[in-house]
Chains A and B, each alone.
Chain A
Amino acid sequence: DAGITQSPRHKVTETGTPVTLRCHQTENHRYMYWYRQDPGHGLRLIHYSYGVKDTDKGEVSDGYSVSRSKTEDFLLTLESATSSQTSVYFCASIAPAGTGVYEQYFGPGTRLTVT
């Protein structure tokens, strides 16, 4: 267990409001990821980070921004929440588990509902 926590675990917010989700890991992993999971789509990458202050866009980055000021924290912000952003959000980090072997650890997920 890589010790990844997410907060909040559940949130209901109104359309147009900003929302920030927090991911915290205690394993000093360099790479961190934010995904959303929707029925019929599996998990889709929103943004990822490959180090402090180093981030890049994923497949579905529109309407989202991220920040990583410390190795252990990766924040996802919905700048102005829309109903299409109602989803379950997962944070993950990746770590080497041996020569050429990697494992990806996930947080427990945040269920966000935008009304």
Chain B
Amino acid sequence: AQKITQTQPGMFVQEKEAVTLDCTYDTSDPSYGLFWYKQPSSGEMIFLIYQGSYDQQNATEGRYSLNFQKARKSANLVISASQLGDSAMYFCAMNGNQFYFGTGTSLTVIP
């Protein structure tokens, strides 16, 4: 079975600081993808970043980067220079034969 674990129900970060949201996964598939999504209070799901299991380099998209440590089965999201608009729920997900989501981390950016 595949599983995604996000152990931080809530996180706080000072504006302009960096924050790391943790995600660990469990799969026996050799090929899989890891995703991060943002869900603001308005409810929509916004794709942020993707990392393939065979990718040698960590994925980056603007202020978002994915710290992929394959041996540890972790795929942490790093948000640099936090902004007030980053306050939202963040979900880690994995696709192999199906899509699995973690339970999410609520991030609050403090001015």
Contacts and interface: CB of A to CB of B under 8 A. Distances in A.
B33 to A, nearest CB: 6
A92 B45 contact: yes
Interface stretch (A13-21, A74-82, A98-106): A98-106
B44 A109 contact: yes
Given A41-B103, A100-B52, A109-B44, A58 B33 contact: no
B25 interface: no
Contacts of A33: 99
B107 to A, nearest CB: 15
Contacts of B68: none
Contacts of A102: 33, 50, 52, 95
A7 to B, nearest CB: 16
Contacts of B100: 45, 59
A114 interface: no
Interface residues of B, number: 23
A102 B4 CA distance: 18
B12 interface: no
Contact of A44 (B50, B52, B101): B101
Interface in A3-58: 33, 35, 40-45, 48, 58
Interface in B27-54: 33, 35, 37, 43-47, 50, 52, 54
Contacts of A94: 95
Interface of A: 33, 35, 40-45, 48, 58-59, 88, 90, 92, 94, 97, 100-106, 108-109
7 contacts: A33-B99, A35-B101, A43-B93, A58-B98, A59-B98, A100-B55, A104-B99
Given A45-B100, A106-B44, A106-B47, 10 more contacts: A35-B101, A42-B4, A43-B45, A43-B101, A90-B45, A102-B52, A102-B95, A106-B45, A108-B44, A109-B45
